Structure 1
Amino acid sequence: MQRPISRIVRNWFAWLMAMVLVGSLAVWFITRPTLPSRILIGTAVRGGQYHEEGLRIAEALERRTGRDAEVVETSGSEENAEKLRGGEIDVAIVQAGSVSLQGLAIVTPLHRDVVHVIVRKAPDDGSPPIRSFSDLAGRDVIVGKQGSGMRRSATDVLEHYNLLGEVTLSGTHFTELLKDPDQKHAAAIVTTGVENGDLRLVLETGDFDLLPLDALALDKRYRHFEYYEIPSQLWPPVPTRTVPTVAASALVVVRENASSRLVNLLLDSIFEDSLPEYFSTLFSPQEARSLTPARLHPMTRKYHDPFGRYGVLHTVLEGLAAGKELLFALGAAIYLVWDRWRRIKERESQRQIKEQKSRLDTYLEQTLEIERAQMDVFDPTQLQRFLDDVTDIKLKALSRLTHEDLRGDRTFAIFLMQCANLISKIQLKIINCTK
């Protein structure tokens, strides 16, 4: 009874391990860090800082992965977020506070997007120069494309000065200030990094100035803004003095379920590649870590961990954690292979025992036939033949019936005793017949 119960338990455990193996492999396959075949990065219009940074990040990713990385031009933050959630792109740069981050995760803050209120120094139409925000009332102001972070910042600033309904909002690019012979556009509210090439192109003409903002008030009123000062002569001859303003962070974002491998590659491409050589205002890893924005991707937290990132033990443990399903599956596979091998060996052993028992029964029957045949025989020569036959059967059994389980069987002991008794009996008859 014990053997069938043990076999049932072993069979049940083997099935359980097989299911664990299949489940672990499935979990590992589904959750393993993977990369898109082509990495698409949503930026903004060509010529802007988002677009230029996106190009450099794409180049770094291609070098690191050997896969194509492509910049997708968009209207700005809102379109980027929508495309990212819809799976049309894999990475995006958005302006903090301009879009909802629901379903998204921040890889890192990238740089400060500074609010620049650009006004004409001396309008040709005879209108008075714009020296304060109240002078914008009734004028046409460029605020950026619909859905861009630039437009969102501009409306926040205009709302703060109660001018949102008092100005005409223009959705053209701010470089239109240079292509405006009639000076239709009186000003532009531009939120971008100070290294934006188009911004430099406009301000270095010397035809425009920057209005100061109530920066401290805006900093307190809007969570995504922080106080910032534009230094004088940043774009000689503009500005002629330090200009207080506000800035928001440009963020690199991905979907919440983006693989940790993609996020790690992005961080390496931004902080450990040549990106800081091209953009001096890029946040350093220390600055990015200190900002600690909400909805930060878990891989970013590990990346900036000053103790864990470079620790060998941490790296090993992180690798084990990432591949735990695969390791568990490997353990299950090893057990199943061992169990299969054990079962094959067990079946082979049972087959050998069965075969040798059949032979043993044959040898027993042969010795019984000899014992019956010798009972009425008293001729020494014939008895000697019987003795040789019994001895031959015994030697065959000892040489062929080698399985240790059979050697310990009671039937084998009876056979040996049978052979010994029969040999003694025949030898005794031979002695008596030769006297």
Structure 2
Amino acid sequence: MLSLLLAFDASQADETVINVTTQPPLGTVSPYLFGANYGPWALLPVGLWDQAAESGITFLRFPGGAWGDQNDLQPYHIDPFIKFARRINAEPLIHVRLEGGTPEQAAQVVRYTNIEQKYGVRFWSIGNEPNLYKDYTPEQHAKDWRAFALAMREVDPSIVLVGPDISQYPPRPNDYHAPLRNWIRVFMRENADLVNIVAIHRYPLPTQFNAPATTIGQLRETAKEWDFIINDLRQVIREAAGRDFPIGVLEISSHWSKTLGGQATPDSFFHAIWWADVLTRLVNHQVNMVAYFMLASYGGTDFGLFDRYKARPTFYVYPLYKRFGKTLLRAESSHANLTVAAAQNEAGQLTVMVVNPYEEDLTAQLKVDGASACPIKEAWRLDEQHMAEAIALESNEPVLTAPAYSATLYVLESSCR
């Protein structure tokens, strides 16, 4: 029986190949890809700050969600946020109030933050999910956003502006969210000269009120939607503005509703594998900026990477990617069930992220530029037994194992020929 299993593994490895192409590199992995939302309404307890600082979370959007359009930011909000962002070494973005706010108020937030306090916050956005405002049109939004942007730039011309932060984006051509493309078109026609990064939000589930509990299969399928979404968004931007723009996803998770305790809810283990799958696709699509919703949540909600006392499983995707590297390479899997990405890290080592969101264990031969890869030096795994932990290697041969429901980062020897 053992010999049959070994033969099966060897046969499967022969059939499944992960190909990495090192030249030319695809580009640089954005340092703002590994972010989260954070706000006064969902603070991270001080006892968890060290874990957050060591996690690889590199970017924070503040104040996160609708709170920023329901409240005026004050110094007693901004000062602790900047302290926290610096403490965990994360780049801050501040969202100023659009609904119920004025250009003058937004300019004053910039003035306090960057002129009076000299905090040097580069990234700014205006409003949150304006398509959900009552009796509000794309045309009015584009006009209002422009007035805010000009007032803010007058105070600090160096700021980088992100928008329009619409609440969803269609995952297929005829989806019921398809009208939201027009929000992007109108916004870009009016503001392509001011905006620097085009941002959307996306929560695929539930698709209707009172929907049954999400299954693993349903959640898994939503990860694939990002391949369409990013390509389609780029096309819409190009048609409206005449050129490409960096893309941000400034709110993202699986569910817009408060749901917990299920097999595929944001507090579940499988949700971590889903997020690894989604984030790996966004890495490959060279998205510039991503902020998971939220960094922390508690009190009956489950959408935070942390609860009040500890990290939830999805948090552990970040320590895996902390070791990924900055130079993005082309990676492809011959097996449709594997989502893969590759990079070169600062030490010159090739790294390969392998995500298996399915219930079948898989094994793959690794090829680099058409030849056998260098030996594996180390591997780090996220599965039900390992929370982004180093795993023992049975062999250093370039054969990559991908157990069911797992994400594994492989690091290869830097030189072997």
> When the two structures are superposed, what TM-score results if normalisation uses the length of structure 2?
0.23
More strand by share: 2
More helix by share: 1
> Which has the higher Rg, Structure 1 or Structure 2?
1
Length-normalised TM-score, structure 1: 0.23
